[in-house]
Structure formats: C-alpha cells, structure tokens
Structure 1
Amino acid sequence: MRVTRFAPSPTGPLHLGHAFSALTAAARAEGGVFLLRIEDIDRQRSKPEWEKRIYDDLRWLGLDWPAPVLRQSERLPAYRAALERLWAEKLLYPCDCNRRDILEAASAPQEGGPRFGPDGMIYPGTCRGGTRNGPMPEETPLRLDLARAVARIDGPLRWVETGEEAGPREIAAEALIDTIGDPVLARREMGTSYHLAVVIDDAHQNVTEVVRGRDLAEATPLHVLLQRLMGLPVPDYHHHRLIRDETGRRLAKRDDARAIGLYRDEGASRADIRRMVGLGVGR
C-alpha cells in the first residue's frame, strides 16, 4: 500500500507552494494513505495558531487524513534513542561552533573558501577531534562524523526517484564527505534536527514515497545514508517542481501575499488554487 505524507512546519501561513506539494502528495497516495505530519521541532518559531491554520487550509483544499496527526514535538524520545545509538557507535561528536566560527574556519586560505551543501555551509571539521567518551552531552549540538559513518556502509547508496526524471539512483557514499560535510543531527534547544527527525518519522509512519520539492533533492543521499546506518527502510522519493513568483524566486513563508488563507478571504475557490499551481480542477 502506498503511503505519502505532507509535513509542514507551523511557523507561518501555508502558501501556493504548500498547496501544490500537499495536493501532489495526496494524488500520489491515490488508493493508499495520505498522512499529515506537523514538523514543530523549532519550538521557538512554531505557534498553535499556525498549526490550526494548516488544518483549516488543507481541509478547505479538500484534503483529509487519518487521526491522530503525528507532531514531532511529541516524538523527542524517539529521536533521543536514535542519537544515543549513534553516540554509542562513536559516530557523533559535540560541536559548539556558531555560524560565524564556521564561516571564519571555512574561509581560511587552506580551506579554499566556504562551500555549501544541504545542511548549509559545509563544516570544516573544527570540533571533530573532541571527546566522544562518556554519556552523550545534553543541550549540545551533535554532528555526524561523515567519514566514520561512510566507512560503515557496504556499497553505494541507492534509492528510486519517481518524479519527472524517474528511475533508480546510485551514489558512492564517499562522495558525501566533500559535498555535505558533517551535518548537525541534534540542534541546541531542539533535541534533534530536520535530517534525523524526518528519516525516523518516515520509517515510523511506514511512508513508501516521500513527496517534496526539488530544493530538498540534494538532502536525499544524506537521508539514505542515515537510513542505512540505522537499518531503516529506504522509501521512494518524488521531488516535484517548485512554485515561483513573477521574478522566478521560489515561494517562502514570508510570501504572505500568496498565502492560501488570503486567497480564501478574497473569494477564491479550491479550483482557482489548483489552476494557479498548474493542476487540474480535481474534486
């Protein structure tokens, strides 16, 4: 049975890009199960009023999903258990570097200037030699030692893409060392990170096809690596086109002018929204 999910963060209004992604995920689940997940690990920016708006907007679009809805803020023990396992295997290390520290280290002449990957600026490894003994530290950012992690993987990373350029994908695990660097798996005051939480929750919810925007395609090899490290199933990945404004920029939470709720207030119908994002009228 096909299982897809739409996983917004309640940090602002849903816009046309979210509508396209949610409708695409629901369509891909035809005959299966479409899930809603609330990714609220950013406890400072996540607000109950935005979560309520998510439910209202999606129901107005004609979508429904099984209850109860999984909320990541209620899943912290599961993320902690995964981190404890990786820590025990000495694949994590604490890192107190801030963005300025990373920029300065990455800008050193021997580093050749900062480079960027799916986790932002590629970390130059400043704290990699720190202690990994004893209990896992609390409230301290933790990074995955990618070189050590890759050494645990037998063979290339493989997954299946089901989007416009559908087909099997394969990449040497070693390639991630230079293109991603050591990603953060536990952020301060969150207890986890997007990369870790999304992988654990997709497995927990038996998601068979991850539907998300092309802007997240670059993170897929890292997610497959984490799945391999933790013995989790690897779902298919469907990376869809992005909805952009008149200047060609992809829409973001700050694009309130394209919020679904605003279109609703102005009298738009769900069929109007579907046409705006290039979908058929549907139901």
Structure 2
Amino acid sequence: MTGCFLGVDGGASKTRCVVTNFDGNIVSWGFGGCANKNITSFEGAVLEVRLAIMDALVKGGFLPGDIISAHCGLGGLFTDQDREAWLAGLQDLAPSAAITVDNDVFLSIPAADRAFGIAVVSGSGGNIGAITPAGRCHVNGQVNFHSAQLGRRALQALLWQIQIQKEFDPFGQALFDLANFDKEQFLESFHTQPEQLAREIAPYVSTLSTLRQPQAVEIVLAWLERVRRDVEIFQKENQLESLPVCFGGSTFTSLQAIILEHLKFPNGCLVSSLPLEEAAVKLARKQALARKALESH
C-alpha cells in the first residue's frame, strides 16, 4: 500500500501538521495559524488547518488523494456538534481518507505511549482531560494556568530592573541576553503588546530553569504548583487518581526534568518529548492499520 498519513495539532496560536509515508517515516511539516474556533471564527480556524495540511502535502510531494488516514487534535473542540462541523469542514479536502478529530488535549496520552491517562497541555491556554476505559472527559480549557504566565513573572522582574534599579541582576541579564532584546524595543513591546511579549519570553524562562538559574527555577516552581492544584482538583472531581498524569506539548517537554523532580501524583507522572502533531499522526497510522487488519479478516 502507498500513500501517506497525516497528523495535526491545532491550538490557539498556531497549527502544526506532519505527514509520514506508509512506513511511518516523517516526510514533511506544514504550518498554519490559530485553529481554536473560540478565539477566531470557526471558518477562520478551518482555513488555518486546511492551509497547514496543504503546506505539508506540497512540501512532501503528496496530493490530497494520497492521504490514507488523518487525525486532528484541535483546541476548542468540545461537543459532538463541534466534531461533526470539523469533519464537514475537512472531509472534502481528502474525500477518500479516514479523518478523525478530537480535542487537542488528548494527544498528550498517546504522546506518552499510553492508552489511558490524564492529559495536561499548556500553550496560549491550558487544558486537562482524561481518557478512561469508560470514555473521555475534559475541562473545556477552564483551568488556572497557561504558558504565558511564566513570561509575565519575568516581565515584571525585567521592568523593575530597567526602570527602578537601572541595572540587571543575574537573572535579568541572563534572560535579556538569551532573548537578544534591545531595551527600547523591549519597553515598546511591553507597553503595546505585553501578552505577546510574555508568550515570547516564557520559553527562555524555561531554558534558564533547566540551567538551574535560581530566579527562573522559583518562577517555574510557582507556576507548576498552580498546575498541580488544577490537576488534583480534576482527579478528585472525576475520581481518576488511579490514572497516570501525562504532560504534553513544548512547554512541559522543556520542563521535563523539573516536573519529574517536583510533581508527584498517586499513579505516576509522565512527560512526553514527542511533539503533539507526531502523536496525532501515530494515531492516524494506528487507526488505519487496525482497519486494514479487520478488513483482512
């Protein structure tokens, strides 16, 4: 059999698509913008996902008709009506393909190579969900954490050091150097686009924490405590203490060591290094091979 498999991770700020050949080897990636219909319009979200898919297909030398199976993890997908609308918005792109869609939070579980678990992701928004033998549940994004909070704490420290202290402490200097900021541009961005600046700074705070820079570690641990509280509330409300907690996505991957050191849950904690779009394409391939095995019987 020839053809390709396709996986999508569509979130609030960007969409990433990956294409593999039949053997599961990655061939190409594609990119788009916001895929969360609650932040943009539904039509805008569908357009960005379609653009990411076409970008990946063109780069890989495939046509839509070559898609055997696709799985899309999409932020803001909550109901059966959402699922039906997304399928209707994507199926004509590849009418012969088997396409499945789900909330993007659940990609953390196959990313950790588990069938069941509690999934936790954090980007422009945070989310917690679970896959159990009895079904799925999630909190619809109503959590108290997201990745930009790491940057907000750092922004406050930098602004204080620039405007009040008139000099950087070791944390401020390290962060400024790592991000390659210009002071005037930094201050302009702080006053005009503070939330965007916080999102841009957050990965640098994570990097410094892995280097054990004391203030960065303090910021990260305070943020992880916020994550821990939300996960424990979700566990207790849904009686899911028997499931492992699976952290996925780039923010948690970058904090893998500190998470495993500091966060403890009743049935363990897993932090995947597999990008969520790659978890999605693994699901697409697994589903297609399972269908083929059934047909052969």
Provide the TM-score with structure 1 as the length reference.
0.35
Q: Pick 1 or 2: higher relative contact order, CA cutoff 8 A, min separation 6.
A: 1
Q: Would you tell me which structure has more helix in proportion to its own residues? A: 2
